[in-house]
Amino acid sequence: MATDAPPPSTEQYHLPSTEEFTEVQESAEFAELRHSYRSFAFPLTFAFIAWYLLYVLLSNYAGDFMGTELFGNINVALLLGLAQFLTTFLIAWWYARHAAAKLDPKAEAIKSRMEGGA
């Protein structure tokens, strides 16, 4: 018979107040965390959307180019379509590395300080 673990006791850590949340949100440390996230996520999101729209536009308006056979039955459209999947996985991998190295330590420091009441 599996038993659920009891919820964590509020005695284990400090529950931050609304004022403490507001104070942290206005802090330089939180601004740096937000900047680290945005400076990575926004440019990559923009670049990937542009890359995707380029593929769609080429598919719609450059049929002859997209139909160019590269080798065998492999044409430009298939190669660029597969590259969409590849770039999706590469961006996800890159973001995971960025988050682990730059975002998670900063977020954990803020969380620990808030829960610890320091």
Domain boundaries, the chain: 18-116
The mean predicted confidence, pLDDT, of the chain is 88
Model-wide pTM > 0.85 = no
Least confident residue range of 11-20, 41-50, 71-80: 11-20
Neighbours of 33 (CB within 10 A): 20
> Which residues, 6+ apart, have CB-to-CB distance to 91 below 8 Å?
44, 48
Q: How confident is the model at residue 17 (pLDDT cuts 50, 70, 90)?
A: confident
